[in-house]
Structure 1
Amino acid sequence: MTLRIALLGVEHYHANFWTKAFLEKGGVALAGVWDANPEIALAFAEKYTLPLWRDAEALVDESDAVAICSATADHRQLVEIAARFGRPILCEKPLGVSLEDCAAIADIVARSGVPFMQSFPKRFDPVNREIADLLAREALGRVTMCRIRHGHNHGLDPAFRKQWFVDPVRSGGGTLLDEGIHAADFLRFLFGEPESVFAATSSAALGLPVEDTALATFRYESGMLAEVATSWCFAAADTSIEIYGTEGTILLSGVDIASRPARESGFLRIFTHRDGWSQSGMIPHFKTGIFHEHVAWAFVDALQADKPMSVTLADGHRACAMIEAAYRSAKSGRAEDIHFPPAAEQVEKENLC
């Protein structure tokens, strides 16, 4: 049976990657395209020769699942439509423009019971899985520090500075939310959840209503520190991830736009006191140009196999909690505790009481 997927919102550029992935996937068809902006919807439909729909609810009614790739502020409304029709949802990051927005989306999905997948593509890049395996084997001993630099140079393009990303109402924030959310989820994926954060933001480079540069230092119960550095103004870069332990070091390049052109080999470098320096032969999928597609494929695989989603709404919600705390810190000038939403099982227990 063919799985018919509706594209609800295509204003985020990642809709292009998802569309190509869906079109390449067996047993999948795109039921059509809808966007709040009719001109954007028309251009996208013509680009991929897809049916254009003027009514979002009518499109969802004719579909088996929904992929939401709109401006972040529109996520809640589109999730509500999909949930009303009982359709599984793939949603672009970040989950919402605020923690209040995220909580409302979580409530909609919980009440409807529809499967929901949050788009966090770093989890699917094999080079990141290799890092996770090294940490699981304690190859670095006790990890003391992690540094993630993640960003791009699109902010230097005048066209980018006119898009919805720079509108705080539609985006929820600047580079800290847009790009930093990737780093927040990656930290959760590798190390679990930090306790607090100290952060600073700046809009000095571009003079936009949202920040173009941000630094956030997360502190873990173990004492480990994790720094997230993000910007829309990285003209060029190399190492994207640094992980330091008592017995070794991991360095990774080529996994964000700023560093992708920097090298053609030696992306993952490992040092241990026992073996010295070595290089993995793994080429990051981000370097090969196949990255966001993994999310779309994983969404379809879960639906076709009737299995749980590999990245959940809770993952999206809790990563947003990390970024929200960073914004609070940047505003207050002091370290702030991170207020994570309750786990799904805790919410269910509270509802039964």
Structure 2
Amino acid sequence: MSLRIAILGVAHYHANFWTKAFLASEGVAVAGAYDAEPARLEAFASQHGIAVVADLDALLSGSDAVAICSETVSHPALVRAAAERGLPVLCEKPLGATMAQCDAIAAIVAETGIRFMQSFPKRFDPVNHEIADLLRQGVVGRITLVRIRHGHSHGFDPNFRKGWFVDPAQSGGGTLLDEGVHAADFLHWLFGMPESAYATTSSDTFGLPVEDTAAAVFRYENGMIAEVTTSWAFAAADTSIEIYGTEGTILLGGVDIASRPTRESEFLRVFRRDAGGGSWASSPTVPHFKTGVFHEHVAWAFVKALREGGPMPVTLDDGRQAFAMIDAAYRSVRSGRAEPIKA
């Protein structure tokens, strides 16, 4: 019998990647799709050849699990609807539009005991696991500074500037949340939670109700500093991640939309100090993001976890921690000073 997965909300473009991944998976069926906007739902379902189910309760009654790709503000209600039927949930990032929404989702999951997976696709890219291995091995010594630049050029598209992403009531924030949450999770995954955040934002490029450009600095208890810069106005870029240690440097490119077209090889480069000064080496690994098959790995990991049991590979707490980092950054923008991270 097939594992039946319902698509709840198709507002987020990643619903396309997840649906394709589910449809390509043996023993998996898409039970149907639901969305609050009928025209958007009809177009999506027609594109993928799946059923339109306007009755949410009816769709859930015929499903074994759900994948939520709605506007961020709708996450809690859809999680609640799935949880009332005991259905496992895969939820798009960010977890919620506000910290209160994140807490509400956490309460629902704790109350019902459903299995919950947060979508953070960087966790499944082998090139990032190579970085994690290098750090575990202490190849570049004690890490003193990390810089992550993550974003795209969609802000130049008039259609993007009219969409729900730029409405804070639906999205919860601009590029700092939309793109910066990927960087926050990457930092949390590799280095744990920082102590504080200091940030600044700008909406001057496009004049939107949310920021189109942002920079945040996170400080760790051990003195490490992590800088996150994000924008919807990156015309082009190269290196996405820089990790500086006492014994060397790690650089990674090709892992965000702005840098994907830039290089065709040597995405991951490592410098190691030695008595002669040091030398560079590169990895042959091609990042998932460069191949164009990236967000699909989240859907496949969800299916694998459902079939095998055990914990989800990315948890609700992971989603909440990343949001807490961005929340502290937003509080810093409002206060003008470094703010503690309330995880």
TM-score normalised by length of structure 2: 0.98
**Residue identity in the other structure for 2:19:** T
**Residue identity in the other structure for 1:121:** P
SS at match of 1:227: strand
Which residue of 305, 313, 323 maps to 2:316? 313
CA distance in 1, matches of 2:292, 2:90: 21
Runs of 5+ unmatched residues, structure 2: none
Partner of 1:160: 160
CA distance in 2, matches of 1:141, 1:48: 48
Q: Deviations over 1:210-258 (max 9, x none)?
A: 0000000000000000000000000000000000000000000000000
CA distance in 2, matches of 1:210, 1:78: 25
Matched length:
340
Q: Deviations over 1:51-84 (max 9, x none)?
A: 1101111101110000000000010110000000
CA distance in 2, matches of 1:146, 1:132: 13
Partner of 2:145: 145
**Residue identity in the other structure for 1:329:** S
Partner of 1:289: 292
CA distance in 1, matches of 2:294, 2:222: 32
Partner of 1:330: 333
CA distance in 1, matches of 2:197, 2:18: 33
CA distance in 2, matches of 1:120, 1:69: 13
1:250 maps onto 2:250 in alignment: yes
1:78 maps onto 2:54 in alignment: no
Q: Deviations over 1:14-45 (max 9, x none)?
A: 00000111011111000001001011110011
Partner of 2:16: 16
Q: Percent identity?
A: 67
After TM superposition, the structure 1 stretch with the greater mean CA deviation from structure 2, 10-19 or 275-284, is 275-284
**Residue identity in the other structure for 1:288:** T
Equivalent residues in 2 for 1:114-129, closer than 5 Å? 114-129=114-129
Q: Deviations over 1:121-144 (max 9, x none)?
A: 000000000000000000010100
CA distance in 1, matches of 2:309, 2:139: 36
Partner of 2:37: 37
Partner of 2:26: 26
Cα distance, 1:336 vs structure 2: 0.5
CA distance in 2, matches of 1:181, 1:3: 30
**Residue identity in the other structure for 1:328:** R
Cα distance, 1:308 vs structure 2: 1.2
Q: Deviations over 1:309-351 (max 9, x none)?
A: 00000000111000000000011110000001xxxxxxxxxxx
CA distance in 1, matches of 2:186, 2:203: 25
Equivalent residues in 2 for 1:1-353, closer than 5 Å? 1-274=1-274, 276-340=279-343
**Residue identity in the other structure for 1:183:** A
SS at match of 1:302: helix
SS at match of 1:159: helix
What value does the CA root-mean-square deviation take over the aligned residues? 0.6
Q: Deviations over 1:91-125 (max 9, x none)?
A: 00000000001000100111010000000000000
Partner of 1:345: none
Cα distance, 1:307 vs structure 2: 2.0
Q: Deviations over 1:152-194 (max 9, x none)?
A: 0000111100110000000000000000000000001110110
